[in-house]
C-alpha cells in the first residue's frame, strides 16, 4: 500500500548484494550493503529516492525538475543523468562547496548531460532563487531528495534487506551505519525496519553542521514516512527513535576531510571498497569503530559506477567560483 503513485524502475541491479568485509589491521568484520552499484548508469543512495520522486513527477505530467544543492553534489549529477534519460528538463539552484576534483567532475558530467545550473552565492539565498525559478510545469526535488516520497525508496530497501536476512545472506544486524546528509536515507530505512519487524537500529553519521538539527530532521522525516505507509502513531514514534545521531566524525563540516575519514578510505581500499571524502569516509570510520562491539551493516551510499566520459572543458566562471 505504500507504493501509492508512480514508481519508476531506475535501480536495475537490485537486490544489491551484502558482503562480509574483514579489516585485518583493525581486526574487525562488518557487512556492506552494496548500493554503490544499485543501477548501471549511476549508483549510490539518490537512485532509490529518484525512483519515487521522478515517478511522481512523471505521473503528474511534469516536464521539468527543479532542485537545489551543493554545486558538485551527487544529487545533482544523479538527477541530471536520470532526468536526461527520462526526458525531463533538469534545473538546479547550486550553492558553494569546498573545491575537490570529485565535485568538479560531478558538475562537469551534470552539465554535459543537460543540467541547467543557476549559480547562487550562499545557502541563505537559495529559497528565494528556487521560488523565482519555479513554474507550474515543474516539480521540486528538495535538498538531497529528502522528503517522504524520496524516503519511500528506502522503505523498499528495508524490505529488500529483510528478505536477505531471512534468506540467510547475513545475520540480522544490530545497526545499519549510514552517512547522513539530509536524512532521507536513514528515515526511510528506520520506517521500513519498523514495518519489517527487524530489531536493527539506524546510526546516521552526520557529515555537516549543525549536527543536532540533522538528527531532529531525520527523526521527523522517519515519523512522517512511517505514518505515510500506514504505521500507527506509536509504531511511527518507534521508527523515529531507531535513528541514532553519530556526531563525532563530521570534523570541520561538509566537504572537509578528516584524519579518521582518510584512514577509513585506506582501510576500505584494502578491502576492495571505494569511498569518498565527504560522506562515506566519515560513515565508514564510524562503522569500523562500532563494529568492534556490534554487528554492523555499513550502507554504501556512494556511486562507484564509472561516470560517463565528458570533454575536459573549463567550467563557466560563475560556477567555478562556487568551488572554493
Ligand atoms: C546524498 C548522500 C548522502 C546523504 O544521504 P541523505 O539521505 O541525504 O542523508 C550520503 N552519502 C552519499 C554518498 C550521498 O551522495
pLDDT tens for each residue of 16-51? 999 999 999 889 999 999 999 999 999 999 999 999
Using the atom order of ligand 1, give the atom closest to the CA of residue 218: 9
Kindly state the average pLDDT of the residues 77-87: 97
> What is the model's pLDDT at position 25?
87
Residue nearest to atom 4 of ligand 1 (CA): 181
**272 secondary structure, DSSP code:** T
pTM over 0.75: yes
Report pLDDT digits (tens) over 102-119.
999 999 999 999 999 999
pLDDT more than 90, % of the chain: 94
Kindly state the average pLDDT of the residues 226-250: 98
78 Cβ below 6 A of ligand 1? no
Query: What's the 185 CA to ligand 1 centre distance in angstroms?
Result: 7
Question: Do 130 and 66 contact (CB within 8 A), yes or no?
Answer: yes
Cell triple for 152: 519511500
Kindly state the average pLDDT of the residues 266-271: 97
DSSP state string for 226-244: HHHTT--HHHHHHHHHTEE
pLDDT greater than 60 at residue 70: yes
pLDDT more than 70, % of the chain: 98
Report pLDDT digits (tens) over 154-175.
999 999 999 999 999 999 999 9
Q: Residue 270: pLDDT band by 50, 70, 90 thresholds?
A: very high
144 Cβ below 6 A of ligand 1? yes
At which residue does the C-alpha cell 525559478 appear?
Answer: 133
Cell triple for 225: 514516512
> What is the model's pLDDT at position 34?
98
Amino acid at each position: 500500500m505504500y507504493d501509492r503513485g508512480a514508481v519508476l524502475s531506475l535501480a536495475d541491479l537490485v537486490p544489491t548484494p551484502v558482503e562480509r568485509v574483514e579489516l585485518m589491521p583493525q581486526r574487525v568484520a562488518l557487512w556492506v550493503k552494496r548500493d554503490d552499484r544499485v543501477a548501471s548508469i549511476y549508483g549510490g543512495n539518490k537512485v532509490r529516492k529518484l525512483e519515487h520522486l521522478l515517478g511522481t513527477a512523471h505521473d503528474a505530467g511534469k516536464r521539468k525538475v527543479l532542485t537545489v544543492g551543493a554545486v558538485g553534489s551527487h544529487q545533482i549529477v544523479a538527477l541530471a543523468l536520470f532526468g536526461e534519460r527520462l526526458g525531463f528538463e533538469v534545473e538546479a539552484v547550486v550553492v558553494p562547496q569546498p573545491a575537490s576534483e570529485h565535485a568538479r567532475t560531478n558538475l562537469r558530467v551534470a552539465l554535459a548531460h543537460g543540467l541547467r545550473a543557476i549559480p547562487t552565492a550562499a545557502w541563505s539565498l537559495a529559497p528565494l532563487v528556487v521560488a523565482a525559478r519555479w513554474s507550474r510545469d515543474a516539480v521540486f526535488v528538495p535538498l538531497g531528495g529528502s522528503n517522504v516520497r524520496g524516503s519511500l525508496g528506502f522503505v523498499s530497501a528495508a524490505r529488500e534487506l529483510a528478505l536477505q536476512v531471512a534468506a540467510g545472506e547475513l545475520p540480522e544486524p544490530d545497526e545499519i551505519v549510514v552517512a547522513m546528509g539530509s536524512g532521507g536515507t536513514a528515515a526511510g530505512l528506520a520506517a521500513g525496519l519498523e514495518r519489517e519487524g527487524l530489531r536493527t537500529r539506524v546510526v546516521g553519521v552526520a557529515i555537516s553542521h549543525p549536527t543536532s538539527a540533522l538528527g531532529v530532521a531525520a527523526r521527523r522525516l522517519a515519523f512522517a514516512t512511517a505514518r505515510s505507509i500506514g504505521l500507527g502513531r506509536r509504531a511511527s514514534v518507534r521508527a523515529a527513535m531507531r535513528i541514532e545521531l553519530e556526531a563525532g566524525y563530521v570534523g570541520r563540516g561538509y566537504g572537509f576531510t578528516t584524519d579518521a575519514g582518510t584512514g577509513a578510505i585506506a582501510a576500505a581500499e584494502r578491502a576492495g571498497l571505494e569511498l569518498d571524502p565527504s560522506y562515506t569516509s566519515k560513515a565508514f570510520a564510524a562503522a569500523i569503530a562500532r563494529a568492534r562491539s556490534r554487528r554492523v551493516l555499513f550502507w554504501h551510499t556512494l556511486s562507484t559506477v564509472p561516470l560517463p566520459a565528458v570533454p575536459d572543458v573549463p567550467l563557466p566562471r560563475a560556477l567555478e567560483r562556487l568551488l572554493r
